[in-house]
Amino acid sequence: MITLVILAIGISAATALALAMPRHHEQAHGRGAVIRRQPVRRRLEGWALALIAAGFAVFTDGWGRGLVLVAGVAGLAAPLAAGLFAWRPGRAGQVVAGGWLVGLVGLCLLISGLV
Amino acid sequence: MSWLHTWAGLVVGWLLFAIFLTGTACYFRPEISAWMHRLAPIALPDQPTQARLAAAWLQAEAPDAVSWLIDVSDGREPVLKVAAGRPHGYVAQRLDPVTGAPEAGPETVGGDFLFYVHFTLIMSDWGRIPGRYLVGICAMIMGVAIVTGVIVHKRIFKDAFTFRPRAAAQRAWLDGHNLLGVMSLPFHLMITWSGLITLMLLYMPWAVDAGYPGARAGYAADLDGIPMVAAPAQPVQPAALTDLGRVVAAASAAWSADGRDILVGRIEVDRPGTTAARLTLTPQDADQLARLPEALVFDGTTGRLIADGRGQGGAVAAVHHTLYGLHLARFAGLPLRWLFFAGGLAGTAMIATGLVLWSVKRRPKTGAGDRARGHRLVDALNIGCLVGLPAAIAGQFLANRLLPADLGGRAELEPAAFYLVWLAFLLAGAWRSDGVGWMRALAAAALLWAAVPVADVLVTGRDPLGALAAGDRVFWGMQLACLVTALMLGRLAMILRARGRRGGAA
């Protein structure tokens, strides 16, 4: 369960990092879309989400298994994000927003002690 | 560097594909074994009871043995494995953990076949050592291919999320190859290196031989943290073995003292039935990253703890055990195990895309008919291995379900089915290796995979909905895995058919 939460946040982190790159920003928003401050914001967003996912992993599984989990999620999330840009680039923004939502839900679950 | 990457990858690519594919399947070896042995999920008796049942069977069947080996069930595969080493031979048996009687199901090789193919390529006694050397050479070349691949692919971060499936064939395959290679790079590096570590004593024994001139036993003792014991000085007398159940409970309690819940994995009994009997208990490796040396040694007649291996191994031993543990991933719970499985599939797909890319890059503009002889050979082997090996695994599963249950030598026929299906696909690839050949091979493989769940239900007569209600994870896992594989292979075949109609090629 928590692994799926971590995977979901990881995918949105990868998507946010991709959106910070001009090529993928164009894919998502069309050529010539406004990219004012977008790269920096998206990059910060991506790394923040990645840190949150890693934090969840280490918090629930400890340093040993948690870091293995982070590496595994990273290896799966990035190709999935690339697939998203290849087939459904319009959804990229929503995926990033969804990552924050899942992170919030995961945090609530952790605090309430359900996972 | 690019030259080295291309040719190193091509020469051993097909063997690496076989190693990665079977290794990936081995993350679910206990489940595959349970499926092939047709074990239904049961409520396992507690470990002391299991140990007593195993000891009772061994006492009756092999009282004269020099050593016994008991693998208590870890819950993933509901079976009790016992083995006895005699001066004149070796006997192994799978017991029902509830009754203690030998398992009733039809003879089968279980998940062990894929496991042995993974690191020996051949499941026969004469081929094991050469097979291991071959796999080791492949793994070293894999290491070379990974390092050169990173250097060749300079734009790692710029192209991190780039995948253009609708671009020209060469571009699309290269994107896929890079994406799978770069993003799972930690996994690929870890699995290749730790794979070499598992057999390092075979590949590079010199340092250990120089450091331990006496024998390997001293090295093993240092690695496991258990001191060596000299052979008993006074002549041994017959003596009854202590109650294994009590020892198992004591060991489990000792490991779980710090709040973890650690169960016993393996019990080794040296010189059973004598005054010199010794019990070595090792914990299940399901709970920890490193396969830490935590063995406990008990006296076989009194049941007294005589050696404690916990915390004895040094930092070097810990590194070794961590790498070993990472390779086997037995520490991983179900979600993490699926991630390892995905990583293994990514590695398998990376090798496959690399091999296809070699061919796509060199395709003559005038059509598949104008390929050079070497190019045809690569294409034929690509079909024979990249499609043939997955199909061969399905062939082995099908043989397990379709061969008559009381057939003699059944366990040897399942690997035979594997090799026959593989051979058939190699021949099909040699016969026709263009787009149509790919399409037909993929369609045949998809049909084989789709036949597995059907044969499973028809032969075992298990009610799928009843299995769902009973929470039979192994049954449903295999059904879904086979169906998903069949759908993916079928989809690839359909894509190729559509391209063929439009006049393009793979």
How far apart are alpha carbons B468 and B160 in whole angstroms?
Answer: 41
| pLDDT (average), residues B174-182 | 88
- Whether B323 has its CB under 8 Å from any CB of chain A: the answer is no
Q: Which residues pair with B280 in a beta bridge?
A: B268, B297
Phi and psi (nearest 5°) for B275?
-70, -15
B424-433, B441-450, B469-478: the lowest-pLDDT one: B469-478
The strand pair at B67-71 and B264-270 is best described as: antiparallel
| pLDDT, position A37 | 54
How far apart are alpha carbons A37 and B156 in whole angstroms?
Answer: 24
Q: Which residues of B are less than 8 Å from A87 in CB distance?
A: 165
Q: Which residue of chain A has the CA closest to B176?
A: A79
pLDDT band at B41 (very low <50, low <70, confident <90, very high): confident
Each residue's pLDDT tens digit, B348-407: 999 999 999 999 888 887 777 788 888 999 999 999 999 999 999 999 999 999 999 888
Task: Please tell me the pTM assigned to this model.
Answer: 0.91
| pLDDT, position B287 | 60
- Whether B146 has its CB under 8 Å from any CB of chain A: the answer is no
Q: Which residues of A are less than 8 Å from B166 in CB distance?
A: 86
Asked if A85 and B288 come within 8 Å (Cβ–Cβ), the reply is: no
Each residue's pLDDT tens digit, B294-312: 788 898 888 888 888 777 7
| pLDDT (average), residues B43-64 | 89
Q: Which residue has the tokens 């799972």?
A: B184
Interface pTM (ipTM) of the complex?
A: 0.88
Q: How many CB atoms lie within 10 A of CB B324?
A: 19
CA distance A62 to chain B (A): 11
Residue A30, Cβ density class (10 Å: 0-12 exposed, 13-18 middle, ≥19 buried): exposed
For A18, the closest of B161, B180, B326 (CB atoms) is B161
Asked if B339 and A21 come within 8 Å (Cβ–Cβ), the reply is: no
Asked if B183 and A74 come within 8 Å (Cβ–Cβ), the reply is: yes
Closest CA to B244 of B301, B285, B282, B284: B301
For B343, the closest of A72, A78, A87 (CB atoms) is A72
